[in-house]
Structure 1
Amino acid sequence: MIVTITFNKKEEWFTFFDGNGNKIERKTEVRYDPLTTETSRVFYGHGIAVTPKEYTNAGEQTAGKNCPFCPENVLNMTPVFPKEIASEGRIFHGNAIVFPNLFPYGKHNGVVIFSNQHYVRLEEFTIDMIKDAFIAAQNYILRVIDTDADASFVSINWNFLPDSGGSILHPHLHVILSESPTNYQANVMEKAVAFNSDTGKEYFSELYVVEKNLNERWIGENGNIAWIHAFSPKSHNDFIGIFSNVFTVQDITEQDWEDFAKGLISIFPSLLEQGFTSFNLSLQLSVNPLLKQPIHVRLIARFTIGQLETSDMNFFQTIHQEPLSVFQPEDVSKLARRHF
């Protein structure tokens, strides 16, 4: 069997002594991303305990008249699309509504609200709630690419709860279409094209096969959507969902979105079990059928630590651009696998 994907890591040991002269050794594991070769660090002996956060009071204070996304306000307080994107000004699917972002991150930026419910706990999300929101996002993307062929870098993004950078409690997505790739999009595309040139295989398709066979970071699958944990994680949890056999946003079916929603509903309990209630999610989408690269999504947990509510990100992540994880990916995979 030809080895196409390798999982490389090395250990570094720090030796020191306590006040009584007892020797202490601490290990840091440097892991190399199998596609990009970027590194992340897994460290041990951290003793971090994450306390789940409750936003009931904040939800009561920010709901209704104080929230532009609540049902009594959304049609009056949110902007509308040009007629060529949405004849009604906004896009509707089930309880989901799409409208323009007032402060866009790119050439096209739609906001999708999930439902009328202002504060939704992680355990309260339903398959239909998630499915409808992502179908609404897909409908917006399809309308944009019909009118603007240059906006070819596409993602659906989710900041859930304040620890993730979400500024409005009411759950919502950001759909971004741009002429310019983000650093992540450019790097992954460049490396995936090189991988295809070197091996004749599509990277995420091959990652699916290799991880499923290894069963070390494999979690589970529903229909065309498989879930693994990243070998070289971008945070303390880093779940990767691969849309196997689905190559463009045009190819995604309602059944795929239902299977995707089922997967998220299965991932959420593993977050809660670790004390996490917040996350960032980004779904990378292709609009070009010539780029045979399966769609993929990444979900990382976000949290704060201790009485000072210290951020989970420090100089290592923000300046060195080096992700840290206090949890071994293989351990997180075992935990998450139980919920599939």
Structure 2
Amino acid sequence: MEIKFTKREEWFSFYDGKGDQIERKTEVRFDPLTGETSRIIFNPGLTLTPPDYEEAAKMTGGQNCPFCPENILTMTPVFPKNIAKGGRIVQGEAILFPNLFPYSKHNGVVVFSSQHYVKLAEFTAGMIKNAFMAAQLYIQKVVETDTRMKYASINWNYLPHSGGSILHPHLHVIGSESATNYQRQLEDATHLFEQENDRDYWEVLCEVEKKAGERWIGETGEIAWMHSYAPKGHNDFLTVFRNRKSLWDITEKDWGYFARGLQVIFKVLEEQGFSSFNLLFELSLDPKRKQSPHARIIPRFTIGGLDISDINYFQALHQEPLSYHSPEDIANKARSYFNQEKIL
């Protein structure tokens, strides 16, 4: 079983009011692992204006925010002592505690720092590193106390367009006995690939994409950065922790390299007018599986004066991602940023 990059072009021909012919191309791309399709559609040349949350931050911060310093120790819940002796997990400025409204059997929330509103350019490598290290420690603690937990992920909804309900930056860490649809499909497909090739899919993907160069962005330490061939959004940055086969293999140095790479990705998003995103960090807890941890980052936004959602019936009901942008073009843009920053 080889990694294949397959696509199909569809052309729609019609006429304008003057009788001149117009042709529009839709490119259907097949995910090289799962076979799921994504569509690269005509880009009407939209210009995005990032929203300004300065006033909203003044209204929602401080005493009005459960995650701000004056409230966090009194308004957030605590874990039992077998998870955290002091009730919460602290790593640098990052503080992790239970989610009052859990999505899963285990659900921690990580607040990055005391700063209520953090713009993309204001995230420091230390902020990011500490938050993800706290999430890692939480998952490790849960595994020690719940041997039935098989699936875990670290998730980030940044700003309201992404579904973030509180402006104060925070992560969601979830663990469960039941896989999400993404986790189930991923597990089945990577297991089949491993059986047929006796190799980890993500390692092979890194080798293939690096050699091809079209969607390859670069590496920070042993963290590989590329753009997904069949994107799940208008950008879909994919990062793989190479030579790391479980959560326990990831070091503080790795998180530091991940944080520095993420800072550069934020600059790529900002250039395009994106200010909000969803991030998924997926990892295997099965000791029999040796699968590289990986993360995906997609931007979220609204369009025009009516604040039209970037998700419509196609994504929501057909479960078919759309993108205005060519993955190769976005990868080229991101690659130039990585080279400028000299962090490769």
Superposition TM-score tier, normalisation by shorter sequence:
over 0.9
The alpha-carbon deviation at position 224 of structure 1 amounts to 1.4
What letter corresponds to residue 94 of structure 1 in structure 2? G
Among 115, 118, 124, the residue aligned to 1:117: 115
Q: For the Cα contact (< 8 Å) 1:225–1:256, is it kept in 2?
A: yes
Query: Paired residue for 2:305?
Result: 307
> Aligned pair count?
338
Q: What is the DSSP-based 3-state SS (H/G/I as helix, E as strand, rest coil) of the residue aligned with 1:158? A: strand
Cα distance between partner residues in 2 of 1:236 and 1:165: 17
Q: What is the DSSP-based 3-state SS (H/G/I as helix, E as strand, rest coil) of the residue aligned with 2:70? A: coil
**Distance change (3 Å), C-alpha of 1:45 and 1:271:** closer
Query: Paired residue for 1:77?
Result: 75
Cα distance between partner residues in 1 of 2:155 and 2:278: 8
Cα distance between partner residues in 1 of 2:247 and 2:335: 27
What letter corresponds to residue 131 of structure 2 in structure 1? A
Query: Paired residue for 1:271?
Result: 269
Query: Paired residue for 1:246?
Result: 244
Among 151, 165, 168, the residue aligned to 2:166: 168
Q: What is the DSSP-based 3-state SS (H/G/I as helix, E as strand, rest coil) of the residue aligned with 1:282? A: strand
Cα distance between partner residues in 1 of 2:287 and 2:207: 22
The alpha-carbon deviation at position 65 of structure 1 amounts to 0.7
Query: Paired residue for 2:290?
Result: 292
Query: Paired residue for 1:128?
Result: 126
Q: Deviations over 1:74-98 (max 9, x none)?
A: 0000000011111101110100000
Q: What is the DSSP-based 3-state SS (H/G/I as helix, E as strand, rest coil) of the residue aligned with 1:338? A: helix
Q: Deviations over 1:256-276 (max 9, x none)?
A: 100110110111100000000
Query: Paired residue for 2:201?
Result: 203
Cα distance between partner residues in 2 of 1:250 and 1:170: 29
Cα distance between partner residues in 1 of 2:315 and 2:160: 19
The alpha-carbon deviation at position 211 of structure 1 amounts to 0.3
Q: For the Cα contact (< 8 Å) 1:247–1:289, is it kept in 2?
A: no
Q: For the Cα contact (< 8 Å) 2:43–2:325, is it kept in 1?
A: no
User: TM-score, structure 1 length as denominator?
Assistant: 0.98
Matches within 5 A, 1:169-188: 169-188=167-186
Cα distance between partner residues in 2 of 1:15 and 1:111: 50
Q: For the Cα contact (< 8 Å) 1:97–1:114, is it kept in 2?
A: yes
Q: Deviations over 1:273-309 (max 9, x none)?
A: 0000000000001222321110000000000000000
Cα distance between partner residues in 2 of 1:150 and 1:193: 20
Q: Deviations over 1:17-59 (max 9, x none)?
A: 0001000000000000000000000012422221112111111
Q: Which runs of 4+ in 1 moved over 6 A?
A: none
Cα distance between partner residues in 1 of 2:255 and 2:67: 23
Cα distance between partner residues in 2 of 1:174 and 1:280: 11
The alpha-carbon deviation at position 112 of structure 1 amounts to 0.1
Q: For the Cα contact (< 8 Å) 1:234–1:323, is it kept in 2?
A: yes
Q: What is the DSSP-based 3-state SS (H/G/I as helix, E as strand, rest coil) of the residue aligned with 2:225? A: strand
Cα distance between partner residues in 1 of 2:101 and 2:299: 25
Q: For the Cα contact (< 8 Å) 2:151–2:179, is it kept in 1?
A: yes
What letter corresponds to residue 132 of structure 1 in structure 2? N
Cα distance between partner residues in 1 of 2:17 and 2:211: 47
Query: Paired residue for 1:220?
Result: 218
**Distance change (3 Å), C-alpha of 1:45 and 1:237:** closer
What letter corresponds to residue 21 of structure 1 in structure 2? G
What letter corresponds to residue 98 of structure 2 in structure 1? P
Q: For the Cα contact (< 8 Å) 1:152–1:179, is it kept in 2?
A: yes
User: TM-score, structure 2 length as denominator?
Assistant: 0.97
What letter corresponds to residue 86 of structure 1 in structure 2? A
The alpha-carbon deviation at position 196 of structure 1 amounts to 1.1
What letter corresponds to residue 271 of structure 2 in structure 1? E
What letter corresponds to residue 63 of structure 1 in structure 2? G
Q: Deviations over 1:110-155 (max 9, x none)?
A: 0000000000000000000000000111111111100001111000
Question: Once superposed, what is the RMSD of the aligned Cα atoms?
Answer: 0.8
Q: For the Cα contact (< 8 Å) 1:28–1:43, is it kept in 2?
A: yes
Q: What is the DSSP-based 3-state SS (H/G/I as helix, E as strand, rest coil) of the residue aligned with 1:74? A: helix
Q: For the Cα contact (< 8 Å) 1:79–1:100, is it kept in 2?
A: yes
